[in-house]
Amino acid sequence: MDVDKVVGEEVCCLDAELLQLPEVSSFVLKENPQLAEDLFSQWISLSETSRLVKTLIDDAKAGNPISVPGSSTNASAGGVNSLPSMFPVGSAPPISPRSSSGSPSTSKQKTSPSSLGSPLKLVREPVWEVIPQFYFQNGRPAASELKEHCLSRINHLFSNGLDGLLIHEFKPVTKIVCKLPSFFSHMLFRKIDVDSTGIVTRSLFMLFVCREAFVKYWVDSNMLTLDAATQIFNILKQSDCKYLTQSDFKSILRELLATHSGLEFLQNTPEFQERYAETVIYRIFYYINRSGNGRLTLRELKRGNLIDAMHHADEEDDINKVIRYFSYEHFYVIYCKFWELDTDHDFLIDKENLVRYGNHALTYRIVDRIFSQVPRKFTSNVEGKMCYEDFVYFMLSEEDKSSEPSLEY
């Protein structure tokens, strides 16, 4: 092997540390790489260097162990290097002494994290953490204190010595224990024995609900820990449905009409009671059922303000002060306006009837647009006719143009 060939291959990747020149600082060589190459070229041209390189090549070919003089890192700073020197004797500049452990870069590479006092600790075994249960199919179980407090109230309300509570005695349970509007008492009473298991028994032709049946439904099934919207949703909906329909609200509105002091004047007019209940339901679905498919979901119920309006109606003696959904005056205005337009009183109005709305405030183009059913599909099922429900949607959109349903309409 030619020495010049070896030199040509290795000079391109020359490392100044490998020159091992005690007379020249390695910092100077790194800052001036061309100087290092010039020195290396001059050094490799020496006869002694040529003989040394040939000897190392021969040893490598013969498989003998290669020992480079002066390459040991344990040599002291004052050790003599057997390689030929680049400088004349006595003319080399002094260099800073090296530590016995080798160059600073070598020391840094061999320093382990443990020798530096690192705060990191080696984890030998995995640490297992118990994640508490966060999903409960039937709702989160009640805390022991809340459950005991609820059972104490139940025991007090059911301490009449009878088989249970009559339906008219169940209202305090609905308000105090369940914290629901009082007009939900009849619906809740009927909901307890939904499977007709005999828990709600007939005695002397009167319905009773016993304490055990109520505890099973309200406490054991975790209804106690649900939010008010979910409680009302579960009470109103049919067992095989995941949404509410208009018919699901009829029961609570019948009880509202029968028990609310502000609606007593309608007791002798069942027809107006029915129309009032229908109008309230239409208003509920107009504002809350944003999908407009007649199926009110739990998500929509939670987003709306119906729960607050129900509590307001239960606490307020003057039903007209409950502006949201339940105001009788609002119903009266809507119903009278429809009755005025429906000249033949068949509860259907056509284009000619609607064009007279608001003293002919609507143009024929607007009326044609409405009857094209682009804003909303009619539920009358009669060609060219609008029923009372369709009119309620139209009038709510016409009179209150600030709401989102009105803007969509």
Write out the two tokens for 263. 């609606």
**105-111 own/partner pairs: CB under 8 Å, 24+ apart:** 105/17, 106/73
186-226 residue pLDDT tens: 899 888 865 544 344 444 334 567 788 888 888 888 888 89
Q: Give ∠ CA 346-351-353 in degrees, rounded to 5.
A: 55
Question: In angstroms, rounded to a whole number, what is the distance separating the alpha carbons of residues 384 and 378?
Answer: 9
45-96 residue pLDDT tens: 888 888 888 888 888 888 777 665 555 444 444 444 445 555 455 555 555 5
Distances (CA, A) of 170 to 73, 176, 184, 304: 95, 10, 10, 28
110-169 residue pLDDT tens: 555 555 555 555 657 777 888 888 777 767 777 778 888 888 888 888 777 566 777 778
**pLDDT at residue 107 in the model:** 47
Place of tokens 């509202």: 256
> 308: how many CB neighbours lie within 10 A of its CB?
11
Residue 287 or residue 67, greater confidence: 287
Mean pLDDT of 349-370: 91
- Does the domain formed by 141-225 have CATH 1.20.1530? no
Mean pLDDT of 302-316: 95
The average confidence (pLDDT) of the chain is 79
pLDDT at 179 over 80: yes
> Exposed e or buried b for every residue in 75-104, given b needs 16+ CB within 10 A?
beeeeeeebebbeeeeeeeeeeebeeeeee
**pLDDT at residue 196 in the model:** 46
Place of tokens 């337009």: 341
**pLDDT at residue 200 in the model:** 43
pTM over 0.75: no
Closest-CA residue to 233 (of 280, 308, 296): 296
252-279 residue pLDDT tens: 999 999 999 999 999 999 999 999 999 9
**pLDDT at residue 154 in the model:** 82
Domain chopping of the chain, boundaries:
3-95, 141-225
